[in-house]
Amino acid sequence: MKLYRVFPYDTGVAPTDKGGALFIPEASGLGRIDNPDLYSVLYIASTPYAAIAESFGRLAVWRPSTFIHGSGLPYAVATYEAPDDLSIFDLDEIDALRSIGIMRPTDVITRDRAKTQAWARTVFAMEKFVGALWWSYYDPDWPVMGLWDSSSLTPIVVDAITTTHALVQETATAIVRQITP
């Protein structure tokens, strides 16, 4: 299967180094499933649109500067190959939710990080999954996930993005964002 991620891209580094396609930033504790005392997490998506939306969707207007990280590196979309049988806990399945005590699907995507990090801790403790999958805040048909074990990912394409990139344009249209020069 193919998976996608947006990240600040440095063409001169190894894939696992900062700026590389396999680099996992140190957990801030602010992410949906961050539990830095247990694992690092790589946030990834099932479509490039979801990856772009999750990265920039909070902004109503996208400008050229939106696609340059504060470090000066350009943002890129990486495409990864992953095994089709990747063991992901699917929070879009009602039985999966019940198995970890979630009775309200809104507890999956709430912005209350104490709740989301608690269910992530529960899933991680099962020791059967490499991550968890839920739906994008911007479109419920776009699955997104966090992986605490990304060792089976292979980057196959890394493409810098700008306001004129087709994927950026299509994502902006899909989630109703304005692009300005």
Burial call 12-25: b when 16+ CB within 10 Å, e when fewer:
eeeeeeebbbbbbe
Q: Give the pLDDT confidence of 140-174 residue by residue, as tens digits.
A: 999 999 999 999 999 999 999 999 999 999 999 99
- For the residues 131-135, what does the mean pLDDT come to? 96
Q: How far is CA 96 from CA 26, 74, 89, in A?
A: 28, 38, 7
The terminus-to-terminus CA distance of the chain in angstroms comes to 35
Q: Give the pLDDT confidence of 80-108 residue by residue, as tens digits.
A: 999 999 999 999 999 999 999 998 888 89
| pLDDT value for 3 | 98
| pLDDT value for 41 | 94
- For the residues 32-59, what does the mean pLDDT come to? 96
Interatomic CA distance for residues 179 and 89, integer angstroms: 35
Residue 109 has pLDDT above 90, yes or no: no
Q: Give the pLDDT confidence of 11-40 residue by residue, as tens digits.
A: 999 999 999 999 998 877 788 899 999 999
pLDDT band at 42 (very low <50, low <70, confident <90, very high): very high
CA atoms within 13 A on the CB side of 20: 12
Residue 181 has pLDDT above 90, yes or no: no
Query: Per-domain residue ranges for the chain?
Result: 2-179
| pLDDT value for 29 | 78
